[in-house]
Amino acid sequence: MSVLVLNGPNLGRLGTREPSIYGHTTYADLLELCEKTGRECGVEVEVRQTDHEGEMVGWLHEAADRGCRVVLNAAAWTHYSVAVRDAASQLEQPWLEVHLSNVHRREEFRHRSLLSDVATGVVAGLGVRGYVLALRWLAEA
Ligand code: DQA
């Protein structure tokens, strides 16, 4: 089984980006953690990050065509991108929306997600542990 872990804008700056909100774990650490979790679960995990919406849409098409499961942290696109929602809606395998922070206890504009009602499930507010739990769940689903 293959799982794509897809990260949207600004997540490549994890570790230096607003650490009081997103923590001190770097993107490189997150990548390593996801790959390690994949090995533990016997799942092939590939982690990607982009600041370009079209690239993310293309990766979601790829996941749909390959039948991959997906962990998606669409970051800011979560809150306004119909294009990312439409691409994610094409996934036929289970996929999880993940956020490091608890978006519901932050600014009001973060309370709305264009993804939650098309996702299989949502994990928010558990930091990088949320990715580990999402991967474990997808490995067993
Ligand atoms: C985020 C939450 C989003 O509101 C924000 O735009 C991000 C990261 C999170 O992981 O907590 O970039 O998706």
Whole-number pLDDT of residue 127 = 96
Contact 13, 27 (CB under 8 A): yes
Whole-number pLDDT of residue 38 = 98
Whole-number pLDDT of residue 106 = 97
What is the gyration radius of the CA atoms in the chain, in angstroms?
14
Ligand 1 centroid vs 100 CA: distance in angstroms? Answer: 7
pLDDT < 70: residue spans in the chain: none
CA 57 to chain centre: 13
Structurally, at CATH architecture level, domain 2-140 sits in: 3-Layer(aba) Sandwich (3.40)
Supply the ipTM of this predicted assembly.
0.99
Q: Assess whether 27 carries a catalytic annotation.
A: no
Contact 2, 69 (CB under 8 A): yes
The response to whether 86 counts as a known ligand-binding position is: yes
* Domain parsing of the chain, residue ranges: 2-140
What are the C-alpha distances in Å from 140 to residues 8, 46, 91? 25, 17, 18
For the entire predicted model, the pTM comes to: 0.97
Task: Return the bridge partners of 108, or none.
Answer: none
Whole-number pLDDT of residue 26 = 97
Structure token pair of residue 100: 């490091």
